[in-house]
A and B are shown apart, each in its own frame.
Chain A
Amino acid sequence: MRVLVIEDDQETATFLKRALKESGHVAEYAGDGQTGLDLARANAYDVLIVDRMLPKCDGLAVIQALRTEEIRTPALILSALGEVDDRVKGLRAGGDDYLTKPYAFTELLARIEALARRTSPEEGSTRFVVGDLVLDRLSHKVTRAGEAIMLQPREFRLLEYLMKHAGQVVTRTMLLENVWDYHFDPQTNVIDVHISRLRSKIDKNFGNPLLHTVRGAGYSIRDSAH
């Protein structure tokens, strides 16, 4: 995955570049808004990581400029402003996701991987398959090894989101934001309990577990038998 980091803080940028490289991605870096805009216009990136406050050209302006030129590269906005208002503004400007500083790198990585996936063809499919687990988005039916599994509506949406990002790490915050549409910190580890409930339904009576906990990051659904 080719990533462009537009960030004016040298140290953060270096850290991001190195960490992305370690995760198997190629990262390029621009120190100000104008350079970032030029690079994003000239090259085909999979994801842009844009700091909100940049010299020369504001981060939101960069994204807006790209969007008016029909350049639809997914963009993740990084900002120290964490309020709901700011998040809404960022998304309205054409950003695809919003992450507040300070953040965990695992969170950032999971999010940009999810963003890059969004442009892939699986997005619109009506059936998700992981191993012998099948989720039908039209009939709202879930089966594992041909056996029907009864899920609550919320559990269905949770599984749907996990399977849409099968093979990727999905963080707790991502689940809270995308499955529940809550952008606040719920204090207790509520997501973990929901996951363990879901796990008991889809994994408990089957030999090969599909829903994995990724330590320090979140969860991932994948067929580890392969």
Chain B
Amino acid sequence: MTALTKLFRTTTFRLSLTYLALFSAAAIVAIVYIYWNTTVLLSRQLNQTIDAELKGLAEQYRAGGLDQLVRTVAERSATPGNSLYLVADSEGRRLAGNLSAVTPDLWNSLGPVEFVYRRPAAGGVENRLAFANVFRLPSGYRLIVGRDIEDRRELARMVRSAMLWGLGVMALFGIGGGYWVSRKLLARIDALSDTSRTIMEGDLTGRLPVNGSGDELDRLAQSLNLMLARIEQLMAGLREVSDNIAHDLKTPLNRLRNRVEAALREPYGEPVYREALERTIEEADGLIKTFNALLSIARIEAGAAGGENRETLDVSALLRDVAELYEPVAEERGLALKADMHAPIFIRGDRQLLGQAIANLIDNAIKYGTSEAAEGGPDAQPEVEVSAEAKGPMAEIVVTDRGPGVPVSDRERVLDRFVRLEASRSEPGSGLGLSLVAAVARLHGGSLRLEDNEPGLRVILALPTNGETHVNGAPQQALQGAEIRPA
């Protein structure tokens, strides 16, 4: 496609052509109308003038006969103007008047007639158009009264040429303007599509040009830029996740491989092999767990999981249930696990996903809630407290511990996949627990926040309640897409 055909194909150019055609048609109609009206008016004036003259001459003729008529005509012919007169006898000889020759056509016609006559002018004779009324007098005489209408013909010619010129200029401006505007617009569109092409080729840092005029193209470019920023952010997230996966899955895989290799090199036979194989299975199980957790998070974040299994459930009961599951573990670790639940709070959710989320929170609290408290002297009572409370439209599940807590600067980061703080490296875990809780919270339209428990960590999982249990039968609007808020 050449640049010119591309230009002609633009909407702007086609629009300007259409407008041009419409304006031309309107202009032609207007000019024709004015011209036609003017002509009608002029003809009427002409007829009236000629009628008046005829009437005057008829009176002269009645009063004084042919002689007086001839005299009057001669007088009137002498005064300069556009009036034409002729009195002639039956042979066509001129008796008086300023019309020299009479063509046979004119002579034989009767009533109003248009004809061409010759008039002396500067440097010769010119043919001019005239309009006249031919009148027959008794005894074959003719009286012709008319007016020169060459000016009218001139006017018509002028109007015609003005019209042609006008249309020409209009067409020129229209096409030229259309071309100019289209090219300007096309240049901007080309710039936009060039940039998008480079972005499509993989350079996500590119942004569409914005010229600050705030026009529709600018606004479009701004929206597209926001979209690009979002895509870039998502891609960066994805890259980070795959880097993390690569690191956190490859490390144990490598360990596994090393162990098998080492066992193969050992010459001690079966018992050593057996032990190595058992540890290999353990390592593989760990990997499978990590892999499952990752897949779960990915599916939850894609919104694919838990859609079909939403049910109305009591969070208090679920929390009590999971707390009961972990209570012996807490006790074994020398922790008191206190559950503080009051009235049932109903929400709509996936029991398995929510159960897993709560289990992860309690598991974390038990894992990390001990170390510091044990050294914290007699005052620091090592305990984990779980509670559920309805706060407005949200059900808040709170899990607190008396452990080292999470520094403010890390509170957002620990929700990311595979992030494990230095202090917790000694504990077993994949660094996926809180990521999963955050994903479950998002899926349910809720949020996850970490706060200071002074000392310790206070984790709040807020989920939208099932409105039906609070407002008579009318479900409350669930808070959709709430963000994970850093504390």
Contacts and interface: CB of A to CB of B under 8 A. Distances in A.
Contact of B288 (A83, A88, A102): A102
Main secondary structure of the interface of B (DSSP, over half): helix
A82 B305 contact: no
Interface in A185-204: 185-190, 193-194, 196-197
Contacts of A185: 289, 292-293, 356
A110 B278 CA distance: 19
A193 B305 contact: no
B296 to A, nearest CB: 7
Interface stretch (A113-121, A134-142, A176-184): A176-184
Contacts of B353: 84, 184
B329 A193 contact: yes
A182 B355 contact: yes
Nearest to B285: A104
A69 interface: no
Nearest to B324: A154
B328 A194 contact: yes
Contacts of A194: 325, 328
Contact of B296 (A83, A102, A190, A216): A83
A17 B472 CA distance: 59
Contact of B363 (A84, A180, A188): A188
B326 A88 contact: no
Contacts of B360: 187
Contact of A84 (B309, B321, B325): B309
B464 interface: no
B299 A190 contact: no
B427 to A, nearest CB: 10
A196 B355 CA distance: 23
A218 B453 CA distance: 38
A147 interface: no
B136 to A, nearest CB: 113
A70 interface: no
A145 B360 CA distance: 40
Nearest to B350: A84
A212 B229 CA distance: 59
Contact of A190 (B304, B328, B429, B433): B328
Given A82-B295, A154-B324, A187 B359 contact: yes
A183 B285 CA distance: 17
Interface string A70-102: 000000000000111100100000000000101
Interface string A156-185: 000000000000000000000000101111
Contacts of A193: 328-329, 332
B397 interface: no
B329 A83 contact: no
B428 to A, nearest CB: 8
Contacts of A197: 328
B260 to A, nearest CB: 17
B64 interface: no
Contacts of B355: 182, 184
A83 B363 contact: no
B325 A187 contact: no
Interface string B358-394: 0110010011000000000000000000000000000
A84 B352 contact: yes
Interface string B422-440: 0000000100010000000
A31 B307 CA distance: 33
For chain B, give the interface size range.
Answer: 35 or more
- Best-surrounded residue of B307, B359, B363, B366 (most CB of chain A within 10 A): B359
A188 B329 contact: yes
A86 B299 CA distance: 12
B433 to A, nearest CB: 7
A84 B289 contact: no
Contacts of A182: 325, 352, 355-356, 359
A85 B295 contact: no
B306 interface: yes
B292 A82 contact: yes
B245 to A, nearest CB: 17
A196 B366 CA distance: 19
Contacts of A183: 352
B308 interface: yes
A88 B293 CA distance: 19
Contacts of B329: 188-190, 193
Interface in B277-311: 278, 281, 284-285, 288-289, 292-293, 295-296, 299, 304-309
B294 to A, nearest CB: 12
A187 B363 contact: yes
A155 to B, nearest CB: 10
Contacts of A180: 321, 325
Given A83-B299, A85-B309, A102-B288, A190 B325 contact: yes
Nearest to B359: A186
A74 B412 CA distance: 48
A197 B429 CA distance: 25
B305 A184 contact: no
A217 to B, nearest CB: 12
Nearest to B353: A84
B309 A216 contact: no
Nearest to B291: A102
A193 B335 CA distance: 14
Contacts of B308: 85, 88
Contacts of A189: 329
B329 to A, nearest CB: 5
A151 to B, nearest CB: 14
15 contacts: A83-B304, A84-B305, A85-B307, A85-B308, A100-B292, A104-B285, A180-B325, A182-B356, A183-B352, A185-B356, A187-B360, A188-B366, A193-B328, A196-B328, A197-B328
Interface of B: 278, 281, 284-285, 288-289, 292-293, 295-296, 299, 304-309, 321, 324-326, 328-329, 332, 350, 352-353, 355-356, 359-360, 363, 366-367, 429, 433
Given A154-B324, A188-B329, 8 more contacts: A83-B299, A84-B352, A104-B281, A104-B285, A180-B321, A187-B359, A188-B326, A197-B328
Q: Top 10 A-B pairs ranked by shortest CB distance?
A: A184-B356, A193-B328, A84-B352, A187-B363, A193-B329, A85-B308, A183-B352, A186-B359, A83-B305, A190-B329
